[in-house]
């Protein structure tokens, strides 16, 4: 069964259309009014090997908060719906990646329960172009809520803010790829002693 989802979300603050294929090949087309987020979503699709299309507009004349958070919400919704009953998935994924002076770990459990831990220091008050680095946390928190997953982000050490956030996004991509893969050993069973990951 194809694990693809298209979601449209329109509010007075943002207008977002997103298409996700969990079993893609890294084909992506990303257009948002937040250039750094566009760059990060492009990296996410490439390194997670997801097909991803995002068309977004938002009230960035106020600031980028609504747009960044809402794209996180919609991407999380797409994962939650594309995973369906989560039968046969590996469920857990983690990745520790370096990027120059930065080392970051992202771990995910697509368990049907939202939990978010952000153990990242050094970004408060920093900007990358017009991107407020504090919004990275808002993006991932929104994703975890809507994807119904546990998401833990740990920065071991780092310096440059661009490198830090990009390293986190790439580790997030690899963790999500690992956690959403189908494990043939499960024979389509749900990877939980409860027998369900959606109740």
159 phi and psi angles, rounded to 5 deg: -145, -75
Residue 155 covered by a domain: yes
Compute the distance between CA of residue 59 and CA of residue 130 in angstroms, rounded to an integer: 14
**The predicted structure's pLDDT at residue 1:** 75
**The predicted structure's pLDDT at residue 105:** 98
What is the share, in percent, of the chain residues with pLDDT greater than 90?
A: 98
Residue 66 covered by a domain: yes
Range of the domain at 103: 4-186
Residue 94 covered by a domain: yes
Tens-digit pLDDT profile for residues 34-60 = 999 999 999 999 999 999 999 999 999
Tens-digit pLDDT profile for residues 89-140 = 999 999 999 999 999 999 999 999 999 999 999 999 999 999 999 999 999 9
- For residue 49, give Cα distances in angstroms to 28, 42, 52: 9, 10, 9
CATH of the domain at 73: 3.30.230.40
Number of domains, the chain: 1
Residue 191 covered by a domain: no
Compute the distance between CA of residue 17 and CA of residue 65 in angstroms, rounded to an integer: 17
Here the tokens at position 117 are 């831990």
Residue 24 covered by a domain: yes
Q: How confident is the model at residue 76 (pLDDT cuts 50, 70, 90)?
A: very high
């Amino acid at each position: 069964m194809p694990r693809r989802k298209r979601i449209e979300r329109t509010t007075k603050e943002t207008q977002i259309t997103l298409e996700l294929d969990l079993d893609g090949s890294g084909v992506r087309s990303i257009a948002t009014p937040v250039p750094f987020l566009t760059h990060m979503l492009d990296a996410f699709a490439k390194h997670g090997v997801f097909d991803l299309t995002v068309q977004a507009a938002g009230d960035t004349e106020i600031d980028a908060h609504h747009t960044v958070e809402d794209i996180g919400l919609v991407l999380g919704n797409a994962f939650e719906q594309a995973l369906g009953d989560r039968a046969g998935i590996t469920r857990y994924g983690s990745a520790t990646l370096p990027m120059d002076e930065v080392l970051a770990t992202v771990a995910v459990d697509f368990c049907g329960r939202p939990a978010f831990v952000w153990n990242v220091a050094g970004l408060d008050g920093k900007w990358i172009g017009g991107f407020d680095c504090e919004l990275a946390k808002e993006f991932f928190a929104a994703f975890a809520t809507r994807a119904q997953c546990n998401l833990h982000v740990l920065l071991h050490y780092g310096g440059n803010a661009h490198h830090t956030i990009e390293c986190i996004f790439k580790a997030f991509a690899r963790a999500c790829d690992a956690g959403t893969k189908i494990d043939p050993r499960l024979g389509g069973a749900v990877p939980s002693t409860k027998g369900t990951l959606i109740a």
